[in-house]
């Protein structure tokens, strides 16, 4: 099947509902489509109490829509997505999905644990005389390309979906079986909470993240160059020509990477000489919930703040979008990613925060998106 190329889509048609008062929480499930073997894919629509509505499917544990009101009370979808299931089946840009077993890059697809070397699937080749071959976002069939089991819950103040997937020993070259869960929760504080847990039967690197492309302007508003970004990050990770960290944690001061004060993304890209695909070190102790970023869209008044327990955040401006079906029909820079997770290539860089999960340990992280208007 070929994906349906569309603009910023919303599969949640609830534009007439009031948004200036609590409307109650709810979780509703329905069939979203079917795989070629007949497997039914379910969509869960999660409603918060103050205008937030999130759609999740159990293919890739992908978020297909996040609907929030603007300063006039008009709701709209603020994440990029496909119009139907076929787009997600051929999605090469991880749009809306969970990435794993290890999100981001591992140099050469190789790492060593307890003296044993492992070779992972190579699914990224960086072109150029000094380019390289990397393992990216879990490989050719990562967590974004599998069917998760799912169930929903709802209380007076929150609603959510819990999705689970078991990755077998040897999957994409990784050692050990990994059982992962992702819980999406919306509440009456206009928050989308993404909580991750995973366990392994053998020592293995784990790094999960949500690869959402945000555009707070809503449907058909164009690129994100006018969005304003603040990052609570004093340092970033310089990379080599193969997009692998050099190992340095460099100061952002006096560089185009300095978002400690609010900056327009387009202006920062002019200073950089191109789009961003950079990992920043989140200030504060790893493992504690702390401020990561604030994104503002002046025209709509929408504001998104992010908090996370993770060590880093990958800021990406959809540089490889080309308006073709695999990128949802979206042109370059139509969305921005803020992927909270471990640093790239951490299994090969022991001075980075540890990513190896051993039997009996629990991988756990939480990232919270809160929406408001100003």
> Is the alpha carbon torsion for 72, 328, 333, 305 positive or negative?
positive
Domains by residue range for the chain, with CATH:
26-373 (2.70.98.10)
Catalytic residue among 137, 172, 339, 369: 339
Which residue, among 349, 344, 319, has the nearest Cα to 334 in the 3D structure? 319
**Running DSSP on this structure, what letter comes out for residue 123?**
-
β-pairing verdict for 250-251 and 312-316: unpaired
**Running DSSP on this structure, what letter comes out for residue 34?**
E
Q: Print pLDDT tens along the chain (374 aa).
A: 333 333 343 343 333 333 333 456 899 999 999 999 999 999 999 999 888 999 999 999 999 999 999 999 999 999 999 999 999 999 999 999 999 999 999 999 999 999 999 999 999 998 766 667 999 999 999 999 999 999 999 998 999 999 999 999 999 999 999 999 999 999 999 999 999 999 999 999 999 999 999 999 998 789 999 999 999 999 999 999 999 999 999 999 999 999 999 999 999 999 999 999 999 999 999 999 999 999 999 999 999 999 999 999 999 999 999 998 888 899 999 999 999 999 999 999 999 999 999 999 999 999 999 999 99
- The question of whether 211 is a catalytic residue gets the answer yes
Is the Cβ–Cβ distance between 137 and 104 less than 8 Å?
yes
Catalytic residue among 93, 210, 211, 342: 211
Say whether 145 sits in a helix, a strand or coil.
Answer: helix
Q: How far is CA 59 from CA 25, 88, 91, in A?
A: 24, 8, 11
Which residue, among 247, 224, 200, 204, has the nearest Cα to 304 in the 3D structure? 224
List all residues 6 or more positions away from 273 whose beta carbon is below 8 Å from its beta carbon: none
- The question of whether 339 is a catalytic residue gets the answer yes
Is the Cβ–Cβ distance between 314 and 255 less than 8 Å?
no
Say whether 370 sits in a helix, a strand or coil.
Answer: strand
Dist. CA 208–CA 66, nearest whole Å: 20
Dist. CA 194–CA 366, nearest whole Å: 6
């Amino acid at each position: 099947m070929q994906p349906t190329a569309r603009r910023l889509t919303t599969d949640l048609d609830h534009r007439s509902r009031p948004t200036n008062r609590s409307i109650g929480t709810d979780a509703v499930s329905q069939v979203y489509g079917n795989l070629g073997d007949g497997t039914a894919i379910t969509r869960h629509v999660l409603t918060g109490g103050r205008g937030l509505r999130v759609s999740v499917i159990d293919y890739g544990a992908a978020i297909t829509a996040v609907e929030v009101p603007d300063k006039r009370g008009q709701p709209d979808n603020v994440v990029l997505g496909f119009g139907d299931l076929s787009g997600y089946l051929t999605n090469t840009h991880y749009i809306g999905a969970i990435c794993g077993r290890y999100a981001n890059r591992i140099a050469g697809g190789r790492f060593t644990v307890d003296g044993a070397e492992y070779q992972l699937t190579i699914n990224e080749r960086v072109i150029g005389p000094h380019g390289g071959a990397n393992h990216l976002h879990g490989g050719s069939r990562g967590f974004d390309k599998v069917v998760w089991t799912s169930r929903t819950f709802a209380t007076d103040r929150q609603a959510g979906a819990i999705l689970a997937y078991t990755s077998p020993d040897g999957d994409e070259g990784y050692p050990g079986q990994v059982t992962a869960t992702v819980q999406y929760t919306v509440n009456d504080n206009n928050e989308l909470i993404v909580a991750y847990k995973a366990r392994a039967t053998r020592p293995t690197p784990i790094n999960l993240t949500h690869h959402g492309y945000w555009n707070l302007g809503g449907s058909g508003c164009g690129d994100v160059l006018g969005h304003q970004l603040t990052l609570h990050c004093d340092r970033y990770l310089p990379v080599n020509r193969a997009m692998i960290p050099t190992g340095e944690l460099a100061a952002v001061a006096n560089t185009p990477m300095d978002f400690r004060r609010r900056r327009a993304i387009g202006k920062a890209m002019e200073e950089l000489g191109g789009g961003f695909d950079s990992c920043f070190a989140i200030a504060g102790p790893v493992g504690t919930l702390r401020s990561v970023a604030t994104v503002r869209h002046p025209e709509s008044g929408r504001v998104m703040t992010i908090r996370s327990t993770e060590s880093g955040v990958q800021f990406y401006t959809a540089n490889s979008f080309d308006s073709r079906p695999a990128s949802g029909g979206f042109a370059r820079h139509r969305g921005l990613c803020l992927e909270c997770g471990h640093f790239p290539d951490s299994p090969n860089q022991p001075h980075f925060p540890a990513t190896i999960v051993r039997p009996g340990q629990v991988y756990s992280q939480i990232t919270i998106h809160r929406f408001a208007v100003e």
